[in-house]
Structure 1
Amino acid sequence: MNEKYICLIDAYSSGAKLARYLDENHDVRILHIQSSVQILPIYKASFERALFESNFIFTGDFSELDRWLKAYPITEVIAGAESGVMLADEVAAHLRLQGNPVKSSEQRRNKYLMGEALRRAGLPHAHQLKMNARNDLDEQIAMIKKWPVVVKPLNSAGSDGVSICHNGTELKTKAALLFGQVNKLGSVNDELLVQERLFGQQYIVNTISERGRHFITEVWKDDRIEVEGAGLIYDKELNMDIDDASLKDINHYTFQVLDALEITHGPSHVELMCTEEGPRLIEVSARLQGGISHKAVSTAIGESHISITALLLGSRPKLHKYLTTRSRTAELMAVSLISKSDGVIVSSHIEDTVCKLDSFYEFVSCPTIGDTLHKTIDLFTCPGVLYLLHQDSSVLQRDYQKIREWERQGKLFTTA
């Protein structure tokens, strides 16, 4: 039997979980391409070198990479993290494998170009403006006719640098802070996206695409909290029944967005707002959702974004079977912990509080004694994420409220 070689580009965060899942559940050989000499700090701890038969460190020399690629009969190429999206397109095209087209790669990484792609496709989209550090800030701000707005780096992730600005003074101050700064994905912010603030209910839609055909894998009702002087921080995500009639317009719009961005292969993570005028895109990532638990999601709905991507790469017949026979067995909620202040943890009370809730399932991440807490202003300052799972959705809501009450009372951690 021919061995199947799968190549992951930047298998960090959920990409690392995908690599481990493939290693444990599929008869495949796994290769890895590291898209930069140094792994970005936000990803470094998640990388598991031992999972890969070979790891190629890309220095920008494609001829070197080509020689390495020729040593293996690679059948699939996929990005494991945001930093690997564009190189994954190039490698797939070079090997003449299924992938997303190179000519439109940049619009799948650059948030301004995403909006422009929707405009060209005639799809509803948020009003936006691209600010440039080289041009006069006052002149650019004067072009904005509607407030508030959201300002963010063009190509970062995890709410990095995202702020809500209510007037020109706030925007000028925030832009001055962001311009020239190296963002979490290692790029210098020489341009910024200014987008109208969308109001309504936010949703996450995770998908898988095969030869241009799209499938919804998960929909999450995504609640966030506005933080003064920053943006919106993660609060809770409630897993929805994808066949719910109320999601019909959202699902249809998602497919239109994927087509406009020329996403034809692999996983995508879509964030959108359901406004009074209908769905509007916030942003798309042509990769797995970060920070997810395969175990919790698959327990509730049969498979996760991770395992479905693994089926695409390693067992297409099983993928098609699942997509036509899937079933839901429990209600599921992801809860992000929120810290109101800075401090070092001197004692943790998580075991005696959260872990004893009726619906508690597991932590994806949780700080321990000696760790430093920071006031939560984005994903990177979120102390931890946990999953609640139960047959009764009211139990999830009750336990979620209890967690927030304990946070307010300082009962989860003692800090100094």
Structure 2
Amino acid sequence: MSTAEQPAAVVVDGYSAGNFYPAAFTAAGARVLHVQSTPELIPTMLAPDVSAYERNIVASDEAELVELLRPYSPAAVVAGQESAVLLADRLSEAVGARTNGTALSPARRDKYEMIETLRRAGVRCAEQFKSDDAELVVKWAEDAGRWPVVVKPVDSAGSDSVYVCRTAEEARAAAERILAGNNLFGFANTEVLVQSYLEGTEYIVDTVSADGHRYVCGVWRYEKTLLPTGRNIYNRDILVPADEAPVPSLVAYVDEVLEALAVRWGPTHAEVIVTDSGPVLVEIATRLNGNLNPAFHILCTGHNQAELSARAYIDPEGFAREYGGRVYRKLQSAYTYNAPTTLDGVVTEVDREAVAAIDALPSTAALSVKYAPGSRIRPTTDLMTAALRVHLTSPDDTRLEADYDRVRVLKDSVYRVG
């Protein structure tokens, strides 16, 4: 097949896990283009490797982008990261690609609209309120009469500025801090969201869909640590067998969420808490899981979300036959560990012996050292400020746990700070 005959896929702002799309779409038989929607790259995110694409189109004018993309007749226009969701929906609809459309785009991006859309559809969800006034946020929490509450931005990602607040003073301080700052993508927070606190165990549910034929490609149980500041930081994600409770009820609930939000195409990354009343959505994003590592996920589940997403868009009939309505199989136990740090200063050296010791552990499938010499490192407050990301997998649960414990010891030796 000549290049001109190949279907085209467009990745909008392919930061972070979006970097796995070019190889996935190429393997699916597509030519791959990149849209960079800002004149300069966003500095807070892992930058896209534009050399992996046939073309990098740098433009922020949507009408211009539509005209530039239309000759390629794209089969897919996908969001490479969270802040690209709305633009990808608009572009995919405008050029006639396979799309979730724009009618419910706000509900797939704005966390307030997301939950209100579920409420209108009769899907179990949290109580909430949003405002541009910290005092009104506090009043809502006090009137609700239930503490703690969760205070967070309406449209960020990666646990950015998410606070668990147990008093009016804590809620006020969190709201004021959010309203005075920017979100992870550099945009000003003009409103703040406050929600009822969901008591229970939190899970990740990752899916891929092709014209409504949904495949669940992984369910992971979160372990988090609640800091004295009210920030709930990630620790490890633990792969759960698909036939183990509460996975079936989580899958059934997320199917309701997908239907309510009109998600028929591509990947989703959902976070759901299992409460006494049943599963309740924290939030869902129509993008890849930010912890995606294709080689690691293939080892523990036999596939990866980027590869599945490319197949869904480029060969939807084949995807539906092979994956539609099904769930993953756990091939071996696995953890994703986002190692926290209490270090505060400038990294003067990365201890290569400590890195090599982690890398040499039998369970280590992938290791990401997030700071280089000269970088500013601060105590971990969210996913972006974790010191390391380590993917661990093994058919031997005892070996896996021992290697995880060893990483927890070695992580503090990786960086020297001045």
User: Contact (CA 8 Å) 2:200, 2:274: kept in 1 or not?
Assistant: yes
How far off is 1:114 after superposition?
A: 0.9
SS at match of 1:218: strand
Aligned partners of 1:61 and 1:266: how far apart in 2? 22
2: CA distance between counterparts of 1:186 and 1:94?
Answer: 27
1:13-92 map, 5 Å: 13-23=16-26, 25-43=27-45, 45-62=46-63, 64-92=64-92
The Cα offsets for residues 2-21 of structure 1, whole Å up to 9 and x where unpaired, read as: 21111111111111111233
Are 2:281 and 1:278 equivalent residues in the alignment? no
Note the alpha carbon deviations across 1:224-249, whole angstroms, 9 max, x for none: 11111141111001112223353111
Distance 1:68 1:76 in 2: 15
Letter of the aligned partner of 1:382 in structure 2?
A
- How far apart are 1:122 and its partner, in Å? 1.0
Task: Choose which of 3, 6, 11 in structure 2 pairs with 1:3.
Answer: 6
Q: What is aligned with 2:390?
A: 386
> What SS does structure 2 have at the residue aligned with 1:224?
strand
Matches within 5 A, 1:246-395: 246-316=246-316, 319-320=319-320, 322-323=322-323, 327-343=329-345, 344-348=347-351, 349-351=353-355, 353-395=357-399
Q: For residues 224 and 383 of structure 2, what CA distance do their matches in structure 1 show?
A: 11
Aligned partner of 1:12 in structure 2 is: 15
Aligned-partner SS, 1:115: helix
- Kept in 2, the 8 Å contact 1:293–1:364? The answer is no
Q: What is the rounded CA distance, in whole Å, between the counterparts of 1:241 and 1:305 in structure 2? A: 17
Counterparts of 1:110 and 1:286, CA distance in 2: 12
| Contact map agreement 1:272 1:279 (CA 8 A) in 2 | yes
Quote the Cα distance in structure 2 between the aligned partners of 1:317 and 1:61.
31
In the alignment, residue 28 of structure 1 is paired with which amino acid?
A
User: What is the CA distance between 1:317 and its match in structure 2?
Assistant: 5.5
Q: Is the 8 A contact 1:11 1:19 kept in 2?
A: no
Distance 1:168 1:325, change over 3 A: closer
Flag the 1:327–1:218 CA change in 2: closer, same or farther, 3 A: closer
**Counterparts of 1:73 and 1:169 in 2: how far apart (Å)?**
54
Letter of the 1:60 partner, please give it. Answer: D
TM-score (norm 1): 0.92
Amino acid at match of 2:30: V
CA distance in structure 1 between the aligned counterparts of 2:350 and 2:94, rounded to whole angstroms: 53
Q: Which residue is 2:130 aligned to?
A: 130
CA RMSD of aligned residues (A): 2.2
Amino acid at match of 1:397: E
CA distance in 1, matches of 2:328, 2:200: 30
Query: How far apart, CA to CA, are the structure 1 residues paired with 2:132 and 2:374?
Result: 41
The residue type equivalent to 2:61 in the other structure is G
CA distance in 1, matches of 2:204, 2:162: 18
**Number of residue pairs aligned between Structure 1 and Structure 2:** 411
Please, which runs of 5 or more residues in structure 1 have no aligned partner?
Answer: none
Q: What displacement does 1:208 show?
A: 0.7
C-alpha separation in 1, matches of 2:328 and 2:167: 48
Other structure's SS at 1:350 match: helix
Inter-CA distance 138–30: structure 2 relative to 1 (3 Å threshold): closer
Measured in 1, the distance between the counterparts of 2:74 and 2:256 equals 31
Q: For structure 2, list consecutive stretches of 5 or more residues without a partner in the other structure.
A: none
CA distance in 2, matches of 1:9, 1:341: 35
Q: C-alpha separation between the residues in 1 aligned to 2:297 and 2:176?
A: 41
Q: What SS does the aligned partner of 2:354 have? A: coil
CA distance in structure 1 between the aligned counterparts of 2:130 and 2:266, rounded to whole angstroms = 29
Say which SS state the counterpart of residue 207 (structure 1) adopts: strand
Of all paired residues, the percent bearing the same amino acid is 28
Q: Are the counterparts in 2 of residues 345 and 373 from structure 1 also a CA contact under 8 Å?
A: no
Structure 1 residue 192: Cα displacement: 0.8
How far residue 250 of structure 1 moved from its aligned partner, in angstroms, is: 0.7
- Using a 3 Å threshold, how does the CA distance of structure 1 residues 352 and 185 change in structure 2: closer, same or farther? closer
Q: Deviations over 1:360-404 (max 9, x none)?
A: 222134445544431001011111101111101232222222333
Instruction: Single out whichever of 351-360 and 145-154 deviates more from structure 2.
Output: 351-360
1:98 to partner: Cα distance:
1.8
Whole-angstrom CA distance in 1 between matches of 2:36 and 2:118: 31
Q: What is the identity, as a one-letter code, of the residue corresponding to 2:400?
A: L
Residue 134 of structure 1: how far off its partner (Å): 8.3
Contact (CA 8 Å) 1:346, 1:415: kept in 2 or not?
A: yes
Shift of 1:327: 5.0
2:200 aligns with 200
Q: Which is further off, 262-271 or 338-347?
A: 338-347
State whether residues 131 and 140 of structure 1, in contact with CA within 8 Å, keep that contact through their aligned partners in structure 2.
no
Shift of 1:95: 2.1
TM-score for both structures, normalised by structure 2? 0.91
1:43-88, Cα deviation, whole Å (9 max, x unpaired) = 3x421111222222332341x2232123223222211111211111
Aligned AA (2:259): D
